[in-house]
């Protein structure tokens, strides 16, 4: 059985890769696409470290076959900054010490970005429930939630 050839768009750029039919999108990102910013914490959709955007929908890349990327629009952590200009969430995470080891950070940022695009005015509770699928073991979530709320406030104020 030969490999599948997939043509897709990742972070706005057309990309192609070969994969096995049972490879997940996470396998493809971390393997042939060499985009290792998305992390594998569990491979079962329980930790969110592999979070990406699939056609503007927040999903776990470990729960998607790489073959499904054909013709779709994929956004990963690598596409969040614009060159040397960090996204406001990335900047705020740094300023507020909302990361320690960093393994969950890619997923947290992608998920937080998805939240603020959908709901620019989330409450603390809404942030916490939105991010329930992103496990962090280092921070206790406190500074992450604060960073998301502050970024939301600043973005609303037009900063």
Partner 1 sequence: MTDIRYLAPQTLDEAIGAFAAAGSAARILAGGTDLLVQMRSGAVKPGLIVDIKKISELTTIEETADGSFRVGAAVPGAVLAEHPRFGKVWPGVLEAVNLIGSTQVQGRASAGGNLCNSSPAADSVPALIAAGAIVTMQGPNGRREMPVEKVPAGPGRTNLKPGEILVSFTLPPRPPGSGDAYLRMIPRTEMDIAVVGCGVSLTLKDGVCTAARVGLGAVAPTVLLVEAAAKALIGSKLDDAALNAAASACSAACRPIDDKRGTIVYRTRIAGVLLKRTAAIAAKRAAEGN
Partner 2 sequence: MNVITNNKWIGQRTIRPDGVDKVTGRAAFAADTTMPGQIWGKILRSPHPHARIKSIDTSKAEALPGVKAVVTAKDIVDFPIDKSVILGIQDMRWMCRNVMAREKALFPGHPVAAVAATTEAIAAKACELIEVDYEVLPWAIEIDDALKPDAPILHEFNKFEGKLSNIAGKLEVKKGDIVKGFAEAEVVIERTFTTRPVHQGYIEPHACLVSVAADNKTTIWSSSQGQFMVRAMTAYLTGFPQSDIRAIPAEIGGGFGGKTIVYLEPLATLLAKKSGRPVKMVMTREEVMRATGPTSGSKSTVKIGARKDGTIVAAQGTFHLQAGALPGSPIRGAVGCSFSPYDIPNVLSVGYDVLSNRSKVAAYRAPGAPIGAFAVECVMDELAEALKMDPLELRLKNAARQGTKAAHGPVFPRIGYIETLEAAQAHPHYSEPLGKLQGRLRGRGVASGFWFNAGGESSAQVNITEDGNVVVTTGHPDIGGSRAAIANVCAELLGIDYRRVSVLIGDTASVGFSNLTGGSRVLFASAIVVTQSAEKVITTLRERAAKIWEIDPEAVKWENGAAHPASPNAGQFEPLTLAELAAKAPQMGGPIGAGVQLNTEGAEGGFGTHICDVEVDVELGIVRVIRYTAVQDVGRAVHPGYVEGQMQGGVAQGIGWALNEEYIYNKDGKVDNPGFLDYRMPVCSDLPMIDTVMVEVPNPKHPQGVKGVGEVPLVPVMAAVANAVHNALGRRFCSLPMSPPKVLAELEAKG
3-state secondary structure of 19: strand
**Residues near partner 1 (CB under 8 A):** 1, 4, 20-22, 24, 43-46, 48, 51, 54, 57-60, 62-65, 67-68, 70, 111, 114-115, 129-134
59 contact choice in partner 2, partner 1, none (CB below 5 to 8 Å, kind-dependent): partner 1
Q: Which does 157 bind (CB under 5 to 8 A by kind): partner 1, partner 2, none?
A: none
54 vs 96, beta carbon nearer partner 2: 96
Min dist CB 71 to partner 1, Å, is 10
Query: What's the CA gap between 68 and 31, in Å, rounded?
Result: 16
Query: For partner 2, which is the closer residue by CB, 72 or 146?
Result: 146
Q: In angstroms, rounded to a whole number, what is the distance separating the alpha carbons of residues 107 and 63?
A: 14
Q: CA of 114: how far to CAs of 18, 34, 80, 111, in Å?
A: 28, 23, 11, 5
String of DSSP letters for 88-126 = HHHHHHHHTT--SS-TTHHHHHHHHHHHHHH-SS--HHH
- Quick one: which H or E segment has residue 143? helix 142-156
Binding site for partner 2 (CB under 8 A): 30, 35-44, 46-47, 49, 76-78, 80-81, 86, 90, 93-97, 99-106, 109, 124-125, 127-129, 131-146
Q: What, of partner 1, partner 2, none, does residue 103 touch, CB below 5 to 8 Å by kind?
A: partner 2
Distance CA 61, CA 143 (A): 25
Q: How far is the CB of 6 from partner 2 (least distance, A)?
A: 19
């Amino acid at each position: 059985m030969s490999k599948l050839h997939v043509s897709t768009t990742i972070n706005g750029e057309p990309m192609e890769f070969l994969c096995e039919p049972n490879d997940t999108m996470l396998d493809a990102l971390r393997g042939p696409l060499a985009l290792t910013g998305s992390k594998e914490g569990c491979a079962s959709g329980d930790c969110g470290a592999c979070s990406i955007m699939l056609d503007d929908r927040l999903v776990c890349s470990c729960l998607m076959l790489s073959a499904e990327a054909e013709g779709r629009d994929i956004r990963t952590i690598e596409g969040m900054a614009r060159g040397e200009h960090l996204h406001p969430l990335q900047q705020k995470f740094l300023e507020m010490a909302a990361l320690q080891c960093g393994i969950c950070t890619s997923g947290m940022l992608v998920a937080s970005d998805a939240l603020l695009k959908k709901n620019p005015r989330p409450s603390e509770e809404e942030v916490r429930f939105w991010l329930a699928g992103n496990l962090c073991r280092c921070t206790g979530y406190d500074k992450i939630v604060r960073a998301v709320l502050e970024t939301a406030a600043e973005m609303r104020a037009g900063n």
